[in-house]
Amino acid sequence: AQSVAQPEDQVNVAEGNPLTVKCTYSVSGNPYLFWYVQYPNRGLQFLLKYITGDNLVKGSYGFEAEFNKSQTSFHLKKPSALVSDSALYFCAVRDSSDSWGKLQFGAGTQVVVTP
């Protein structure tokens, strides 16, 4: 079975400061990992993914994430946060041994960036 944990319900950061949103996962096989962002009254938007290869993945809007196999983590980062980054962020995982395309989503982390 696959699972995802986002240990923080909310992250508060000042504009211009680094932003980190934490995610840990558990899968039987190799993980496929994803980050999504949801703005108010909108659907989820894909940010970035790790399938294989380089552990540091770069995505949309200046976000990046680092895959750490030993710590089973896939934390989302942005060097300098913007007020417009305030949104709900979801981490998701899929087990590579699963032949279907089902993703397991975390509970989400609300990011609040203050001016």
Residues at the interface with another protein (CB under 8 A)? 32, 34, 36, 41-46, 49, 51, 90, 94, 100-103, 105, 107-108
Nearer of residues 67 and 90 to another protein, judged by Cβ = 90
Minimum CB–partner distance for residue 48 and another protein (Å): 9
Nearer of residues 77 and 105 to another protein, judged by Cβ = 105
Minimum CB–partner distance for residue 31 and another protein (Å): 12
Cα 75-61-7 angle, rounded to 5 deg? 25
Nearer of residues 19 and 36 to another protein, judged by Cβ = 36
Identify the three-state secondary structure at position 107: coil
d(C-alpha 39, C-alpha 86), whole Å: 8
Nearer of residues 78 and 94 to another protein, judged by Cβ = 94
Minimum CB–partner distance for residue 103 and another protein (Å): 6
Minimum CB–partner distance for residue 21 and another protein (Å): 16
For every residue of 8-27, DSSP letters joined together read -SEEEEETTS-EEE--EEE-
Question: What are the C-alpha distances in Å from 78 to residues 19, 26, 48?
Answer: 5, 24, 12
| Cβ–Cβ < 8 Å for 110, 10 | yes
